[in-house]
Amino acid sequence: MDVCRVWVKLDRAFVLQESFTPVPSQTSRGVSSQRRIRLFLDFNVLTGGIVSPWGLDKAALSLCAARLCRLVLAEVVRDEVEENLLLHAERLSALDADELIDHYRRLIKLTGPEIVPYPATGLVESSRHLIRHAADVPVLLSAMASKPDWLLTHTTKHFTQAVANRTGLRIATPAEFFRTLSSLLR
């Protein structure tokens, strides 16, 4: 199957033809009455978890797929991930590209992510002062709107402690998140 048939280009963003139904934010219901930790993943953590055979990015996705944590997925992040997956898939054989796309689809189905819409253009423009890199403003605003327990990213040059202090977000790398999680289990 040709990768181009799997993806459709819509206004400079690539979106899977097979869509999924957004799941509204809500407390998890199940065996435990405790709510799940809500993880807002930046595109680099989400992409890394999808394309890497192992690692902490994949471990964070596994927590979400097992529904131990709740994936908070911003539309702006989703679009960047899908564009990056398309670029990655172009370098793979047709069979491997199909498998990559299938893994992404399955991840979305397993996690049942909480979808965060794009922030308004005017808000993006007026919030430019919040973070050093202009391209990160929509991601930051999406995280602020969703109020996750953690924002996981590898872009710590942009998503700094000063940004965390200004926004009230708990920003960390996956390694920092797992160190904290591990300390709670001791």
CA angle 180, 184, 185 (to 5 degrees): 120
**23 touches 32 (CB < 8 A):** no
Each residue of 142-170: pLDDT tens digit?
999 999 999 999 999 999 999 999 999 99
For the chain, 186 residues long, give each residue's pLDDT as a single digit of tens.
333 333 333 222 333 333 333 444 444 344 455 789 999 999 999 999 999 999 999 999 999 999 999 999 999 999 999 999 999 999 999 999 999 999 999 999 999 999 999 999 999 999 999 999 999 999 999 999 999 999 999 999 999 999 999 999 999 999 999 999 999 888
